[in-house]
Chains A and B, each alone.
Chain A
Amino acid sequence: MKSATEIQGKSSTRIVTKWKFMYWRSAILYLLPSIILFSVFLFYPLGKTLYLSFFLTDQQGIANVFVGFENYQYILQAESFHKSIKATILFVLYTVPTGIVISLFLALLANEKVKGAGFFRTIYSSTMGVSVAASAVVWLFIFHPSMGILNQLITSIGGTSIDWLLHPDWALVSVAVTTIWMNIGFSFLILLGGLQNIDEHLYESAKISGASYFYQLRRITIPMLSPTLFFVTTVTLINAFQTFGQVDILTQGGPSESTNLIVYSIYREAFVNYQFGTASAQSIFLFLCILIVTILQFKFGERKVHYQ
């Protein structure tokens, strides 16, 4: 690095370029830690996945037969992958809107200034403290075919017991219920934070002009909360696409592949069947899906977001 006195001696244009260069350099230096982190844990694996997706791998997992786009061709016409895509889309539709509506409802409740609100805030966000594996195991017992408390409850009030995890249609619902329950804590906490950031004066003015609760909710709360809602939607959407743990524990992708969500199907291809090629192709496909959905969301969803 040259000292400032030296630079002062040069012509002004050179000073500008010099400074530009220095800005660049310091910018890069500031970014370097994240660049290195991302390269090691994201960019390199992404590149390697892309590479593997064009190959067949042998039993050591080494790419040794180049097949071009065959893996992609295969997954796009394979029925089981179609089922995976369908299941994943359904799963996203089941979990994301429901989860956010429930968390928003709970956050609105917990945001009221009543006695014991702190207690409920803790309870509502407590699912954040439970690991995916632990909560999935608890739900496994709730859904248990012969001893599950849910079926006992239903039969005790005279209903017919349901094959929660054993019927293809119900299995996806069961996994979705579990996921919603697990995600509520996180969404709730973020939304509650957002609610508490809304300026009190807005509500005071609204009250003075005699606005009803729902009018306030529609005209003040939701618009002011929209950046937070947007964030929560984006994050839960990506999370829903990447669901793995609960599927692994509750259903292992079954019955009849009805809960074989894309990430689980990738796992099975790669680590049970050792077909790293097709697994990589599926990963790239998932990456593109999430990318497109996120871009669309930013393009159309963000228009409705009101930044203060």
Chain B
Amino acid sequence: MKKLLLLFLTVSLLVFITACSSDAEGEEPNEDTAGEEQQTEESSESDDNNEEEEATDEKVEAVFWHAMSGGGQESIEAIADNFNESQDKYTIIPEFQGSYEEALTKFRSVGGTEDAPAIIQTFEVGTKYMIDSGFIEPVQSFIDEEGYDISQLEENILNYYTVDEQLYSMPFNSSTPVMLYNKDAFEEAGLDPENPPQTFEEIKEAAEKLTVKDGDNTEKYGFSILNYGWFIEELIATQGGLFVNNDNGRTEEATEAVFNGEEGLRVFELIDDMNKAGTYGNFGSNWDDIRAAFQTEDTAMYLDSSAGVASTIENAPFEVGVSYIPYSEEAERNGVIIGGASLWMSNGIDQEKQQAAWEFMKFLQTPESQAKWHIDTGYFAINPAAYEEDIVQERWEEFPQLKVTVDQLQETKPSAATQGALISVFPEARQQVVTAMENVLQGTDPQEALDQAAEETNRVIEQANRANQ
């Protein structure tokens, strides 16, 4: 009896152990595609012997991880289909991998291995991390090899992704912040809807007039900013202020946060003053919430990404105006930092796949692809020639406000400030800024809140530098 039991236990153990190990294998992503490739390789070997013509049918498959959901995802899939049909050597397989953060976390676990996707879309603040990771092939090497002309692309966008005079990743979806305002509310309040406030002081005055109160309840706030670090970065940059030292980490590794300087303080004081005056609406840190607040006329002016402009105009039951983001009257207007994401190429994968990725990246830069992308999503066209395409011109006639976003970008003065900061601990720095912003809304002194955030950021920069020596 005991022997039987023992036997049973050993057998079940064995089963358990094997089940475990196969589970572990199952966790590796892209298992399916890897299997397919093996198949195609095998079949191509046998095909080679038979007919040479069939061998050309075997396409190189390259996986493209992106973080675009909704309309962006549909557009990417359509563009990838166009690419796959346009030639017969490569197939691009777009795969949605969750938000930028989630996709990046997944990429960390497969980066540098054969299982890594050929292309991964990473947000702008992940730039420094990607460069340092050692998992990627700079696209500059393909540009040099082929003599590809990148001067056709938008200079201000290239500026962001060029580090040490090398273009590391191919810009793809770029956006900038703009201010959206309710024109109908402007008329009701006796303001000129064609002449929106441009400086911090003007914003304060306009917000005062736009705010509608009913007893204790504020029915409509004058102005709102999403609790998201990006907007603070932009408002600092437009005054020519830096986020971190060493020219925003562009000339040398950044060692210290400087966003608590006078430019940052002006932004925080603006928020603090308006919040105390009761004209500033706080709608949290969720993009959809602040957009909903604008749609339901709970706020009359707010900052949004240019990628959200088209859908906001379409959905709003009132006339929507679009203008440049405000700047302090004590500083000059410098323009905006490019936001959004770019495409990175993995190393450690087959050269053929890299080639496929490169061909696809070039395909994405064509005016046709960019025009489709621009009107589908509202992201910028990386290639300004796209703006001459008929579909874009038609769209602009329908929504003249879209052009404002493009003008703001093209009027931007290139400088370290508008180039954007380059630090590997950006996600954490952003979190600190958001916390500071929330603290100010709860009554903390602006300078104190900023200093605290800067101090915390300094600590993580220092720690990251120590750990990555």
Residues in chain A within 8 A of chain B (CB atoms): 1, 26, 29-30, 32-33, 36, 40, 56-61, 64-65, 80, 144-147, 155, 160-161, 163, 165-168, 252, 254-257, 268, 271-275
Q: Are A33 and B283 in contact (CB under 8 A)?
A: no
Q: Closest 3 A-B residue pairs measured CB to CB?
A: A56-B467, A255-B438, A273-B428
Residues of B within 8 A of A59 (CB): 129, 132-133, 424, 464, 468
Q: Are B467 and A64 in contact (CB under 8 A)?
A: yes
Query: In the complex, which of the residues A32, A61, A255, A275 has the most CB atoms of chain B within 10 Å of its own CB atom?
Result: A255
Give bound CA distance, A70 to B370, whole Å: 50
- Docked complex: B206-226 residues within 8 A CB-CB of A: 216-217
Main secondary structure of the interface of B (DSSP, over half): helix
Residues of B within 8 A of A65 (CB): 466-467, 469
Besides A36-B16, A166-B284, 12 other CB < 8 A contacts?
A26-B2, A30-B9, A36-B13, A59-B468, A145-B289, A145-B293, A147-B296, A163-B282, A165-B284, A255-B284, A273-B425, A273-B428
Residues of A within 8 A of B441 (CB): 255
A146-B9 CB under 8 A given contacts A26-B2, A273-B425: no
Residues of A within 8 A of B133 (CB): 59-60
**A26, chain B: closest CB distance, angstroms:** 7
Q: Are B216 and A160 in contact (CB under 8 A)?
A: yes
B401 interfacial contact with A, CB 8 Å? no
Q: Are B227 and A272 in contact (CB under 8 A)?
A: no
Give bound CA distance, A206 to B132, whole Å: 75
A58-B284 CB under 8 A given contacts A146-B296, A273-B425: no
Residues of B within 8 A of A268 (CB): 431
Give bound CA distance, A80 to B9, whole Å: 50
Contact with A along B54-82 (1 / 0, CB 8 A): 00000000000000000000000000000
**A143, chain B: closest CB distance, angstroms:** 10
Residue of B6, B108, B285 touching A252 (CB-CB under 8 A): B285
Give bound CA distance, A272 to B468, whole Å: 17
Residues of B within 8 A of A144 (CB): 289, 292
- Tell me the number of A-to-B contacts counted with CB atoms below 8 Å: 101
**B interface, size bucket:** 35 or more
Q: Are B460 and A275 in contact (CB under 8 A)?
A: yes
Main secondary structure of the interface of A (DSSP, over half): loop
B442 interfacial contact with A, CB 8 Å? yes
Q: Are B435 and A256 in contact (CB under 8 A)?
A: yes
A254-B227 CB under 8 A given contacts A1-B3, A61-B108, A168-B442: yes
Q: Are A56 and B296 in contact (CB under 8 A)?
A: no
**A160, chain B: closest CB distance, angstroms:** 5
A-B contact pairs, 19 of them (CB 8 A): A29-B9, A36-B16, A57-B467, A59-B132, A59-B133, A146-B289, A163-B282, A167-B442, A168-B438, A254-B284, A255-B441, A256-B439, A256-B442, A271-B101, A272-B101, A272-B428, A273-B427, A275-B428, A275-B463
**A62, chain B: closest CB distance, angstroms:** 9
Residue of B17, B216, B434 touching A254 (CB-CB under 8 A): B434
Residues of B within 8 A of A61 (CB): 108
- Docked complex: B444-469 residues within 8 A CB-CB of A: 456, 460, 463-464, 466-469
B251 interfacial contact with A, CB 8 Å? no
**B116, chain A: closest CB distance, angstroms:** 13
Closest residue to B289 on the A side, CB-wise?
Answer: A145
Q: Are B12 and A146 in contact (CB under 8 A)?
A: no
Residues of A within 8 A of B427 (CB): 272-273
Give bound CA distance, A272 to B431, whole Å: 10
Closest residue to B281 on the A side, CB-wise?
Answer: A145
Residues of A within 8 A of B17 (CB): 36
Residues of B within 8 A of A167 (CB): 442
Residues of A within 8 A of B217 (CB): 155, 160-161
Closest residue to B459 on the A side, CB-wise?
Answer: A74
**A275, chain B: closest CB distance, angstroms:** 7
Residues of A within 8 A of B3 (CB): 1
**A243, chain B: closest CB distance, angstroms:** 19
**A1, chain B: closest CB distance, angstroms:** 7
Give bound CA distance, A144 to B17, whole Å: 48
**B437, chain A: closest CB distance, angstroms:** 9
Give bound CA distance, A60 to B105, whole Å: 10
**A138, chain B: closest CB distance, angstroms:** 15
Contact with A along B252-273 (1 / 0, CB 8 A): 0000000000000000000000
